[in-house]
Amino acid sequence: MIAAQLLAYYFTELKDDQVKKIDKYLYSMRFSDETLRDIMARFRRELENGLGRDTNPTATVKMLPTFVRSIPDGSEKGDFIALDLGGSNFRILRVKVSHEKKQTVQMESQIYETPEDIIHGSGTRLFDHVAECLGDFMEKQNIKDKKLPVGFTFSFPCAQSKLDEGILLTWTKRFKASGVEGMDVVKLLNKAIKKRGDYDADIMAVVNDTVGTMMTCGFDDQRCEVGIIIGTGTNACYMEEMRHIDLVEGDEGRMCINTEWGAFGDDGMLEDIRTEFDREIDRGSLNPGKQLFEKMVSGMYMGELVRLILVKMAKEGLLFEGRITPELLTKGKFETKHVSAIEKSKEGLSKAKEILTRLGVEPSADDCIAVQHVCAIVSFRSANLIATTLGAILTRLKDNKNVPRLRTTVGIDGSLYKMHPQYSRRLHKTVRRLVPECDVRFLLSESGSGKGAAMVTAWAARLADQTRQIAETLAEFRLTQEQLLEVKKRMRTEIENGLSKKSQDTATVKMLPTYVRSTPDGTENGDFLALDLGGTNFRVLLVKIRSGKRRTVEMHNKIYAIPIEVMQGTGEELFDHIVACISDFLDYMGMKNARLPLGFTFSFPCRQTSLDAGILVTWTKGFKATDCEGEDVVSLLREGIKRREEFDLDVVAIVNDTVGTMMTCAYEEPSCEVGLIAGTGSNACYMEEMRNIETVDGDEGRMCVNMEWGAFGDNGCLDDIRTEYDRAVDDLSLNAGKQRYEKMCSGMYLGEIVRNILIDLTKRGFLFRGQISETLKTRGIFETKFLSQIESDRLALLQVRAILQHLGLDSTCDDSIIVKEVCGAVSRRAAQLCGAGMAAVVDKIRENRGLDHLDITVGVDGTLYKLHPHFSRIMHQTVKELAPKCNVTFLLSEDGSGKGAALITAVGCRLREQEQKS
């Protein structure tokens, strides 16, 4: 017993002694955590260089865009062929993805050899061989008559400008076929298939094996956004934000980047950690000076690295008593599979003895322990180095997502990772140590990269079809220059009908006279009360206007809500609520006893008979109070004040918000003679020649006309450009068949049009995994502010997704891209339609005045115009294109239409005083 313990103790001492000796000898292959973090930082810089437009040409880590834009989402289905070329064998798979109760994948595959003379021969021979194998496979599968979509896993660095193209940059591993570098491998394969003529194939995607691995694992775990190969060669890919990929146009969504990290260090970046053995491996390789990182870590070189170390140690008498045999000196005799066998914990030493004996070196027990430790140092170095490059990718993903902790999955494949007994454990441990803020799940790809290639192909086939169908849907919202000119022409016709006495009754664009005969002249003076009713809020304002050298306007206001039950109750309730709000405001300002002149901004169609009388034609924008339509709203307000018996007011003017906006801007800019509201609703007014307003007596001067253009198209004149979505929104609105133009271009309805399109696209399976949520069924969820946020150029896609998720829509990044596209199409059309209407107005004013060229200012207000990132720009552009003889300046009304109401009241008081004097 004691003898056995002594022997064990002696053996442990011996082992420790050998280990220390080897550690000292291979000190340069062992790294501290500080060194590993430094390498990680270097690789992070290389990643960024590869992504940058200016730095990419000289970057060693090429960061190649793959045009794979998403990982599998579980909705893929179909029958596909996957080719896998890049390792020692060439595989062809048939992958059937079906949905019965759940998604299932059936795979049948066959392996074909790639002989040395073919991979070192001409490119033509190589692709003829691939085409021949594919023909044989299709024959055996009995599918030669079918044209199945093909995914091609091609495990070499390729530049891509689309998914179905791959320009080979350089051969790696053992491949060296001539005439292929710089060529599109898809074209070469298609050419070889065409030459045979006995079958047809639709190559839809070429992917790197790393991408295939990520997609294979992504099928099982949707968190998977990194793919790694650690086998014959090594490489990684990951999902990068499009906004960081300078080499590809667009900044929406994500794209998988094939890092080609094997070339890390080709610029000398790793010289301080490369050893004499690494340099010797490189000198004897097919591609000296290239793929230096790969040569330090991958399976193709690991056995050879160990052999070179053993040779040197034997030469120095540190191993095998200095014996060197021809076998030990033969390149390739010590393979990576031997490293894996020797590092097995139980039988490793006996395997070492067996392998070394075959090399003829007659190893002692000491030699076996030493060789086992050499293998451990070389393979451990590989795991450590891979951990640094993977760590850099993980920290980049974490930073891209701007999260304190990253939860992600890394899909992984490769013979070294799978076969080596210690490799995976070492790699995981080092990664967790280097990036403790990342929770990483490592998922082994059970079926290589073939399933992944099929997934990419399924995605590509579906995407091509989906993109085409979405484009067809949104094409209905794209208006040509001819269509817009036609809209302008029709608006002009409707304007003339509204102004003409004989057609006014049947005209849709009512062209209501406002009895506002002049814009402010600067002499307005006094204290005025203004009311502003037109949306879900009601404002009461006190406006103090001072004339003289320094004109000033001082405003005090308070906002009151109008509950929906009041908006849709009785007229008496509505006006009692308004008067109660005025009472509260006068108390608040301490002005209950003053009889102030009042201007009432009332943003609904009114037929006016004088400045202070307006008969409500019809409610719009969700108002439905009874006993108001056909009544004079000024009288209704005066009656409400009388019922209250608390105060008295002098109601001087009733004004539309559009007119109020024009007056507000005209006070600042005298050339302002048009008003436009582009907000909850849409409307315009302008100064028309009295001679053209047949519904009002007199031909002298001008009068502001409230167009009420929201009703343009109510007679069917826009039916040719209305879509099914416009009709659906109209049918479900409170005023079906009315305000059709407004429903195509105002903030109140744009969100509803978007929602209807999204429901349709979801039903067709293009969005939200085909699931129509309760939220999506809810009318009114897409407010204008959300459309404005979604379309903001400054918003990253993740933020768009966050907005959609906040709205209760479980959205992916791909969904977010489509939603943004839909919002863009709807708001662009709205801006163009609004611009076409405005072009008709300014051209009419120009013609009224007999001018070749008109300079004019339009006063504008409204949330859509103010908040939407593109609406104003597109509208301005449209006006410019459709009315080229008009130079139109748009002036934003900073103070809403309340100030305008006060100014109209002031102008009204001034004119009243002048009349009284005369």
- The encoded tokens of residue 581 equal 């709000």
Distance (Å, whole) CA 878 – CA 881: 5
Instruction: Please tell me whether residue 249 adopts helix, strand or coil conformation.
Output: coil
Q: Which of 160, 151, 149, 296 is nearest to 237 (CA)?
A: 160
Strands 854-861 and 886-892: parallel
All residues at 6 or more sequence positions from 52 whose CB lies less than 8 Å from its CB, including other chains = 59, 246
Q: How many CA atoms lie within 13 A of 125 on its CB side?
A: 13
Q: Please, which residues have CB within 8 angstroms of residue 470's CB and are 6 or more apart in sequence?
A: 761, 766, 818, 821
Q: What is the Cα–Cα distance from 753 to 805, expressed in whole angstroms? A: 19
Q: DSSP assignment, residue 320? A: G
- Cα–Cα distance, 801 to 788 (Å, whole number): 14
Whether the Cβ atoms of residue 687 and residue 519 lie closer than 8 Å to each other: yes
> How far is residue 149's CA from residue 755's CA, in Å, rounded to a whole number?
34
What count of other Cβ atoms lies within 10 Å of the Cβ of residue 246? 16
Distance CA 285, CA 551 (A): 85
Cα 602 to Cα 604: distance, rounded to the nearest angstrom: 6
Could you tell me if 354 and 372 are in contact, meaning their C-beta atoms sit under 8 angstroms apart?
A: no
What are 803's two structure tokens? 């907005």
Q: ∠ at Cα 861 (855, 866), nearest 5°?
A: 105
**Cα gap 357→338, rounded to integer Å:** 13
* Residue 587 to residues 377, 531, 542, 553, 642, Cα–Cα distance (Å): 86, 16, 12, 22, 17
Where residue 448 falls (left for φ over 0; alpha for ψ -120 to 50; beta otherwise) is left
Instruction: Report residue 699 as tokens.
Output: 């031909």
Question: Which sequence positions are flagged as catalytic?
Answer: 539, 603, 657
DSSP 8-state symbol, 333: S
Q: Write out the two tokens for 562.
A: 């109008």
- DSSP secondary structure of 58-71: G-SS--EE------
The residue length of the chain stands at 918
Pick the closest to residue 209 from 84, 362, 91 (CA basis). 84
Nearest to 482 by CA among 715, 720, 684, 708: 720
The Cα 46–Cα 257 span in angstroms is: 13
The 10 Å Cβ neighbour count of residue 624 is: 14
Alpha-helix runs per DSSP H in 476-514: 481-499
**Cα separation, 81 vs 201, whole angstroms:** 9
How many CB atoms sit inside 10 A of residue 855's CB? 11
122: DSSP letter: B
Q: Which two tokens stand for residue 508?
A: 């849709």
DSSP one-letter code for 766:
S
- Distance (Å, whole) CA 759 – CA 475: 17
Tell me which H or E stretch contains 724: helix 724-731
Distance CA 820, CA 787 (A): 8
Burial 364-386 (b: 16+ CB within 10 A, else e): eebbbbbbbbbbbbbbbbbbbbb
Name the residue with tokens 């919202």.
477
